[in-house]
Amino acid sequence: MAQLVDRRLVLQGALAATLPIGALSCSNKGQRQNSLAVGGLPVTCNLTLPVACVARAASNAADKTGGPHFEYEYSKYNGWPEIKESLMGGRIEAAYMLAPLVMDLADRKIPVKIVSLGHRSGAVIMVRTDSAYQHFRQLAGKRIAVPSRFAVDFLFLRKMLAQEDMTPADIQIIEMAPPDMPAALYANAVDAYCTGEPFGAVAQRAGYARPLRMTRDEWRNYICCVLTVREELIRDNRAMVQDLVDQILGAGLWLDTKQDNRNKAVAIACRREYFNQDPNVLQYVMENPTDRVTYGDLRMIRSEFEELMQLSRAAGTIKHEIAYQQYVDDSFVANAKAATIAL
At residue 63, the pLDDT reads 87
When divided into structural domains, the chain yields a total of 2
Give the count of beta carbons closer than 10 Å to the beta carbon of residue 321.
Answer: 12
Residue 105 lies inside a defined structural domain of this protein: yes
Look up the domain containing 253 and give its range. Answer: 35-120+223-334
Could you say which of 158, 185, 218 is where a domain stops? 218
Which tens digits make up the pLDDT trace of 85-113? 999 999 999 999 999 999 999 999 999 99
Nearest to 74 by CA among 58, 106, 96: 96
User: Lowest-confidence range among 36-45, 47-56, 63-72, 163-172?
Assistant: 63-72
At residue 68, the pLDDT reads 73
Strand pairing report for 112-117 and 293-294: unpaired
* CATH number of the domain residue 160 falls in: 3.40.190.10
Residue 339 lies inside a defined structural domain of this protein: no
175 and 202 together in one domain: yes
Nearest to 221 by CA among 127, 137, 123, 147: 123
pLDDT band at 32 (very low <50, low <70, confident <90, very high): low
Question: Residue 57 above 90 pLDDT?
Answer: yes
Residues 6+ apart with CB under 8 A from 284: 198, 201, 204, 205
At residue 79, the pLDDT reads 86
157 and 200 together in one domain: yes
Q: Where are the alpha helices (DSSP H) in 63-166?
A: 80-89, 99-107, 152-163
Residue 30 lies inside a defined structural domain of this protein: no
Q: Are 127 and 191 in contact (CB under 8 A)?
A: yes
10 and 146 together in one domain: yes
Phi, psi angle pair for 298, to nearest 5°: -110, 30
157 and 305 together in one domain: no
pTM above 0.85, yes or no: yes
Phi/psi class of residue 260: alpha, beta or left (left: φ > 0; alpha: ψ in -120 to 50)?
alpha
User: Lowest-confidence range among 28-37, 73-82, 271-280?
Assistant: 28-37
User: What residues are paired with 73 via a beta bridge?
Assistant: 37
12 and 104 together in one domain: no
Residues 6+ apart with CB under 8 A from 323: none
Angle between helices 99-107 and 80-89 (to 10 degrees): 40
Residue 45 lies inside a defined structural domain of this protein: yes
